[in-house]
Amino acid sequence: MSSGRLFEIVYLLLERRQMTAAELAGRFEVSVRTIYRDIDALSAAGVPVYTTQGKGGGVALMDHYILDRAAFTEEEQRQLLTALQSLPEAARAGADETLAKLSGLFRRRETDWLQVDLSRWGSVEADQRKFEALKTAILDRRAAAFTYVSSYGLTTDRRVLPARLVFKGQSWYLQAYCTEKEDYRTFKVSRILKLSVLDERFSRPLSPPPIENSGEPCPFCVTVRLRFTPAMAYRVYDEFDESCVTREPTGKLLVAVTLPDDNWLYGYLLSFGAMAEVLDPPAVRRRLAKMAADIWRKNAEPDMGCQGIGRMMEPSSKEVSVMNPNGQTFCQSCGMPLCDPSVIGTEQDGSPSEHYCKYCYENGAFTGDMTMEEMIDFCVGPMVESSPGMTAEQAKDRMAAFFPTLLRWKKD
């Protein structure tokens, strides 16, 4: 007779309330006769187990039976108490009372050595209220409504049947059945706004797919190759699997990873500042460079002087080549004035470039693989912004006349 089998029979009966002797025999790969001997042994040990005959009968435990603390080993008691102690604050409502009761039952109190707080800095109370509302909706099977901000910048009103909360990576997600889309969707909890739990209840069973296979479909994903400075190693290994990372002899880190090509991607890449470089694909590199340039223009100090490109193309400037009559040097790729040494590009040996700005040219090579037309499109925004009254078409016309005089775009 196996004592382990006896305990497992009790666990099964606690979980399922009733099982037939044949089901138990099949589970443990023993005979029905052996199961009946086990039932007799449990009864003799004081476990209130009984059997009923006929259709719908089987083996069951008396109602309200609970396991004695002796049914748990020392290690099982420790694991159970630690599991309750380590619940995140947002999920721990009611757990403290349970923890106190179990500690009394086991006559032990574990050292409070582990604490998990998954709320955002400065948002503890707000995050806990949102988490508690979602937990209530899930457990009470009540519909919920909220405003959601997607990674594509769209704000929509949603009505959902909440299924489960998932913590993955560094964020909480809600998996729910969206009544409008008539399918399961995954929502990042931090982007759920104006949440309300409705009085409407639902009874349908919910079975959302694994979180990595769910969520709102993105138009496409893109594989990006990135190079990080050694100073970013802590974030690289925090946020990317080691199999995606290659360390160069210089200490720089190469990362190849597939990510959704949406607004989130560019915000994420910009979060690394100048510590990251996009190697591929060129389209992502160009768009990121444009966004970074736009950020610089909007936040530059007013007295930084001649960084705009609007003044470089007055009607008389068609004859300008490398140097204008006033001695002003322009980048021979984008036309930006090079009056500040900090914006001058570098040659392969690190020396200052004679012709190009650092945004177009670094370490002896152009930073972006683009055509003259693409460069014009890139510069339209800043030129219009720095030239009040100028339209985008006028800016394009001026650049179309001016750019062919620049060294990079001159035809032999």
pLDDT at 146: 93
pLDDT at 160: 94
Over 80: is that where the pLDDT of 133 sits?
Answer: yes
- Helix axis angle, 32-44 to 21-28, nearest 10°: 100
Q: Say if residues 260 and 186 touch (Cβ distance below 8 Å).
A: no
Handedness of CA 34, 36, 38, 41 (dihedral sign): negative
Strands 361-362 and 365-366: antiparallel
Q: Say if residues 156 and 134 touch (Cβ distance below 8 Å).
A: no
Please give the Cα distance from 397 to 199 (Å, whole number).
61
DSSP 8-state symbol, 173: E
- Tracing tokens 């597939």 back to the chain, one arrives at 258
Handedness of CA 92, 98, 102, 108 (dihedral sign): positive
DSSP 8-state symbol, 208: P
pLDDT at 312: 47
The confidence band for 318, taking pLDDT boundaries of 50, 70 and 90, is very low
pLDDT at 88: 58
Over 90: is that where the pLDDT of 14 sits?
Answer: no
Q: What angle do CA 158, 160, 165 make, to 5 degrees?
A: 110
- Ordered domains of the chain (ranges, CATH): 3-61 (1.10.10.10), 69-106 (no CATH), 124-213 (2.30.30), 221-299 (3.30.70), 302-405 (no CATH)
Q: Which residue has the higher pLDDT, 149 or 118?
A: 149
Q: Which residue has the higher pLDDT, 40 or 197?
A: 197
- Tracing tokens 């299924």 back to the chain, one arrives at 163
The confidence band for 123, taking pLDDT boundaries of 50, 70 and 90, is low
Q: What is the mean pLDDT of residues 33-38?
A: 85
Over 50: is that where the pLDDT of 37 sits?
Answer: yes
Please give the Cα distance from 175 to 178 (Å, whole number).
9
Half-sphere exposure of 313 (CA within 13 A, CB side): 29
**Residue 391 tokens, joined:** 């339209």
Closest Cα to residue 61, out of 101, 130, 6? 6
pLDDT at 304: 41
90: left (phi over 0), alpha (psi -120 to 50) or beta: alpha
Over 90: is that where the pLDDT of 18 sits?
Answer: no
Over 80: is that where the pLDDT of 110 sits?
Answer: no
Tell me the pLDDT of the chain averaged across its residues: 76
Is 234 strand, coil or helix? helix
Q: Within 10 A of 64 (CB to CB), how many other CB atoms are there? A: 6
pLDDT in tens, 213-257: 444 444 467 889 999 988 888 888 878 877 888 988 888 899 998
Give every CB contact of residue 377 below 8 A, 6+ residues apart in sequence.
none
pLDDT in tens, 61-97: 877 665 554 556 666 666 666 665 555 555 555 555 5
Q: What is the mean pLDDT of residues 47-54?
A: 79
DSSP 8-state symbol, 251: S
Helix (H) or strand (E) holding 166: strand 155-168
* Highest mean pLDDT of the ranges 45-49, 89-93, 251-255, 313-317: 251-255
Backbone angles phi, psi at 98, to 5 degrees: -60, -40
297: left (phi over 0), alpha (psi -120 to 50) or beta: alpha
pLDDT at 41: 78
Closest Cα to residue 378, out of 358, 390, 395? 395
Q: Say if residues 62 and 50 touch (Cβ distance below 8 Å).
A: yes
Q: Which residue has the higher pLDDT, 122 or 17?
A: 17
Q: What angle do CA 299, 304, 307 make, to 5 degrees?
A: 85
pLDDT at 290: 85
Q: Which residue has the higher pLDDT, 198 or 300?
A: 198
> Omega of the bond prior to 281 within 30 degrees of 0, cis?
yes
Closest Cα to residue 257, out of 292, 281, 222? 222
The confidence band for 393, taking pLDDT boundaries of 50, 70 and 90, is confident
Q: CA torsion angle for 250, 256, 261, 265 (degrees, to 10)?
A: -40
Q: What angle do CA 115, 121, 127 make, to 5 degrees?
A: 80
Over 50: is that where the pLDDT of 363 sits?
Answer: yes
pLDDT at 321: 37
**Which of 55-59, 115-119, 136-140, 374-378 is predicted least confidently?**
115-119
The confidence band for 27, taking pLDDT boundaries of 50, 70 and 90, is confident
At 276, the amino acid letter reads A
Q: What is the mean pLDDT of residues 363-379?
A: 83
Q: Say if residues 215 and 175 touch (Cβ distance below 8 Å).
A: no
b/e sequence 375-384, b meaning 16+ C-beta within 10 Å: bbbbbbebbb
* Highest mean pLDDT of the ranges 161-170, 179-188, 379-388: 179-188
Over 80: is that where the pLDDT of 301 sits?
Answer: no
pLDDT at 336: 83
Over 90: is that where the pLDDT of 343 sits?
Answer: no
Strands 352-357 and 253-260: unpaired
Please give the Cα distance from 227 to 246 (Å, whole number).
9
Over 50: is that where the pLDDT of 55 sits?
Answer: yes
